[in-house]
Amino acid sequence: MILLADLDFSLPLTNPVIIFSLVLFIILFAPILLSKIKVPHIIGLILAGVLVGPYALNLLKRDSSIVLFGTVGLLYIMFLAGLEIDITEFKKNRKKIVVFGLITFILPLVFGTLASYYILQYNWLSSILLASMFSTHTLVSYPITGKYGVSRNRAVALAVGGTMITDILALLILAVISGMTKSDVTSTFWITLGVSTIVFVGIVFFIFPIIIRWFFKRYDDSVSQYIFVLAIVFLASFLAEAAGIEAIIGAFFAGLVLNNFIPHSSPLMNRIGFVGNALFIPFFLIGVGMLVNFNVLFHGWGALRVAGVIVTVAIATKFLAAWFTQKAFKLLPDEGKMIFGLSTSHAAATLAIILVGYNIIIGETPGGEPIRLLDEDILNGTILLILISCAISSFVVEKASANLALEEEKESEIQVDSGEKILITLAYPDTVTEMVDIGLMMKPAKNNVPVYALTIISDDENNDTSQVSGKKMMEKAINQAAATENTIIPLMRYDMNISNAIIYTIKEQNITDVIIGLHKDANQKNFLGTIAENILSKSNETIFIYKSLQPFNTLNRILVVIPPEAEKEPGFLHWFSRLMTIAKTGGLSFQFFASEATLEQLKEYMLNSPNPVPSTYNVFTNWEDFLILSRELKPNDLFVIVSSRKGHISYDDKQEKLPYYLSRYFVHNSFIIIYPKQKESDISDEDKLHHDSSLLDTLSENLQVVNKAGDYITRIFKKKNQ
């Protein structure tokens, strides 16, 4: 039994339980307390680190555990930056990213070198190394953009991309200068660095995706997936270090690779963001604060002069780079502030450069004291720079994020309520997750389109099993939606006829999109099933019939085949917008097969879209050659077939062969069959005449049956009377 007197309360604390408890309470209360005075939570954590660190109250020592969790937190920030970034926006702005990256590297390097040489009187080698530190920046304030939901803004993409460029160049300067002091910068050095970097990039961008897709296809356990993602991130970070570049580059590249496999509105993304923001990133920020030593202010005017020059040059040049980028590319003022805020904070790479330079001995004084490439005044000034730059960064990013989020909110309020509603029908317990995922992916981001989930319970005396199964499916659907921070509206209906229950729900709730899973016994003779066929015949809304064979996040592309004259249907633009939303959420590209007229409409809509999806267009009109598409379809493609109800404009008799083709030649692909919204008035006169004559024939047959029944009953009564 451990008594209170046996516990060690000497400072700094050594008991791991007390240390971890203290850190957790700091993570909990520091943001809460400082938010009362409008101080960003990131600054609250850094200041808390200063307070409990070795240079203030000395409650905690910056030992290996703090360093370990802090390193994890830094890599986590870079990983999230790559994971959350909008790849389409990133590619679209790649030229701007390169320009900003070079500007935010060159300006601090040039002005920093001149200031260090002429004002601080350091030699050229020390001045260049110190100036390369000014060029770097750490995305300390990046989590703030996620809190306000603006992490996919183009300004954030510019800042994140610029971070990669400037940090790589600065660390390259560090490697060269470090090698020069050891006299080992030869052609072999450059060849080794180049080859190792190429190998590293090849492994991460070409081998990692194969492993990731294989794992996600076979394992859907939430814990296993999260651990696997972390393992990939830290393996990439290790490979980066082994290649001779910084680990943060590996973490960022891992985020870019995983970006295509982890949808932004998925349970896994929610878990990744939650754990990082709750634990690892706060540990990193507290660790940064523990580095700050206010005693440097009392080391004489020399230390203050060095600190003043470092802080002024570093922040001023980052401001100039952001201002020039904003003006050059005509960005919004708040976007310019966002770029400045994210790029002005110095921490990880800055500290790495300074510590390496501090540990390089280039000679000795007459008294035997070592002469360092970067002296103690620079080290102390850099620590002060970390605190001031992180404070400025947090305040600026907090303000810019709030303004950008408010602007986006105003734009969404201007949009008129479309009246769209999505209904997910739940039939099988093992397909609930896939059905909910596709339903939520159809819902546009930051849109209040309601999503309903429907289970139907058999309305008979022995319905206990059906009722229990229905409730379990609904609970699973609600939990799946909650894991993505979304909500679905549960609907439970008692009915003997499943198709009628769905049809009445569509009418009562004014549903515009219905998602139905393909039934398990589908074959070429009974492909859609009686339920789906009844719904199609009695409802004109957009119907999606979905068959999932692999997780959606393992797909690469959407291959869409469209019948001729589909652009004339009233629901053409609607289903196209739904597919656009799915493609953007899943990071997928399009390959369209349609007539020339239809392709022209698609190109026009895509061109006018604010965020177009990468697409290829192929002329395809003869549905008798449908099997040609099997050669175009790849294992990780989603096959989308746009069909039509019988008798409408884009209907073709050859579509009747779809069940045969799909059940025989496309059994290994996930697919969606879309029946667009169509109106009764769209039926041609010839088809109406055929429909009316068929109806008359049916009525005639029914009347004959009734007449025969009447004659039979009449004969019975006659016999009785006789």
Instruction: State pLDDT tens for residues 37-52.
Output: 777 777 788 888 888 8
Q: Which tokens in the block code for residue 223?
A: 């814990």
Answer yes or no: do 434 and 521 share one domain: yes
Per-residue confidence (pLDDT) for residue 722, from 0 to 100: 44
pLDDT of 514-527, one tens digit each? 999 988 877 777 78
Asked if residue 325 belongs to a domain, the reply is: yes
Q: How sure is the predictor about 417, in pLDDT bands with cuts at 50, 70 and 90?
A: low
712 occurs within a structural domain: no
Do 401 and 433 belong to one domain? no
* Whole-Å CA distances, 173 to 105, 132, 685: 11, 7, 77
| Same structural domain, 167 and 186 | yes
Distance CA 48, CA 59 (A): 11
Of 149, 343, 349, 323, the C-alpha closest to 249 is: 349
**Of all residues in the chain, what percent carry a pLDDT higher than 90?**
24
Query: Is 58:11 a contact under the CB 8 Å cutoff?
Result: yes
pLDDT tens-digit series, residues 195-222:
998 999 999 999 999 999 999 988 888 8
Same domain, 393 and 438: no
Rounded to a whole number of angstroms, the distance between the first and last alpha carbons of the chain is 107
Whether 407 and 535 share a structural domain:
no
The per-residue pLDDT for range 8-20, each reduced to its tens digit, is 667 888 888 888 8
Q: Residue 566 in contact with residue 650, Cβ under 8 Å?
A: yes
CATH number at residue 257: 1.20.1530.20
Same domain, 366 and 421: no
What is residue 90's three-state secondary structure?
helix
Report the SS3 class of residue 446.
Answer: coil
Whether residue 703 has pLDDT greater than 70: no
Domain-embedded: residue 4: no
User: Does residue 416 have a pLDDT over 60?
Assistant: no
Higher pLDDT, 606 or 386: 606
Range of the domain at 592: 417-675
Q: Which residues contact 7 (CB under 8 A, 6 or more apart)?
A: 15, 18
Among 382, 414, 446, the domain-final residue is 414
- pLDDT recorded at residue 39: 75
pLDDT at 681: 52
The torsion angles phi and psi of 370, rounded to 5 degrees, stand at: -70, 140
Q: At which of 414, 432, 463 does a domain end?
A: 414
Examine residue 684 and state whether it is found in any structural domain, yes or no. no
Residue 685 lies in a domain: no
Spatial separation of the C-alpha atoms in residues 608 and 614, rounded to whole Å: 13
Model confidence at 654: pLDDT above 70: yes
pLDDT value of position 687: 43
Higher pLDDT, 642 or 31: 642
- The answer on 428 and 399 residing in a single domain is no
- Percentage, residues of the chain above pLDDT 70: 89
Within a domain: residue 470?
yes
Same domain, 382 and 429: no
- 413 has a pLDDT exceeding 60: no
Taking 70 as the threshold, does the pLDDT of residue 706 lie above it? no
The tokens for 562 are 């469209």
DSSP per-residue string spanning 538-593:
H--SEEEEEE-SS-GGG--EEEEE--TTGGGSTTHHHHHHHHHHHHHHHT-EEEEE
**Residue 687 placed within a domain:** no
Choose the final residue of a domain: 390, 414, 438: 414
| Rounded CA separation 5/706 (Å) | 99
Closest CA to 547 of 669, 665, 432: 669
Q: Label residue 414 by pLDDT band (50, 70, 90).
A: very low
- Beta-sheet strands, E only, within 113-260: none
In this structure, are 467 and 513 located in the same domain? yes
* Arithmetic mean of pLDDT, 216-231: 90
C-alpha torsion sign, points 392, 393, 395, 399: positive
Q: Quick one: 151 and 274 in the same domain? A: yes
Tens of pLDDT along 266-286? 888 888 988 988 888 888 888
Which of 184-188, 402-406, 410-414, 442-446 ranks highest by mean pLDDT?
402-406
Judge residue 621's burial from the number of C-beta atoms within 10 Å of its C-beta, 0-12 exposed, 13-18 middle, 19 or more buried. middle
Pairwise CA distance, residues 69 & 149, whole Å = 26
Residues 451, 439: contact at Cβ < 8 Å?
A: yes
- Whether 296 shows a pLDDT value over 90: the answer reads no
* 12 prior amide bond cis, ω within 30: yes
Average pLDDT of the chain to the nearest whole number: 82
pLDDT in tens, 237-276: 999 888 887 788 888 889 989 988 888 778 888 889 889 8
- pLDDT tens sequence across 608-637: 887 788 899 999 988 888 888 888 888 889
Please, which residues bridge with residue 423 across strands?
452, 514
User: Is the dihedral angle over the CA atoms 38, 40, 46, 48 positive or is it negative?
Assistant: positive
For 118-151, write each residue's pLDDT tens digit: 998 888 888 888 888 888 888 888 888 888 888 8
Per-residue pLDDT tens over the stretch 555-584: 889 999 999 889 888 889 999 999 999 998
Judgement on whether residues 364 and 484 belong to the same structural domain of the protein: no
Mean pLDDT of 484-488: 83
CATH code for position 472: 3.40.50.12370
The count of structural domains within the chain is 2
How much is the average pLDDT of 343-356?
Answer: 78
* Region 59-67 average pLDDT: 85
Task: Tell me, yes or no, whether 357 and 432 share the same domain.
Answer: no
Is the pTM for the entire model greater than 0.85? no
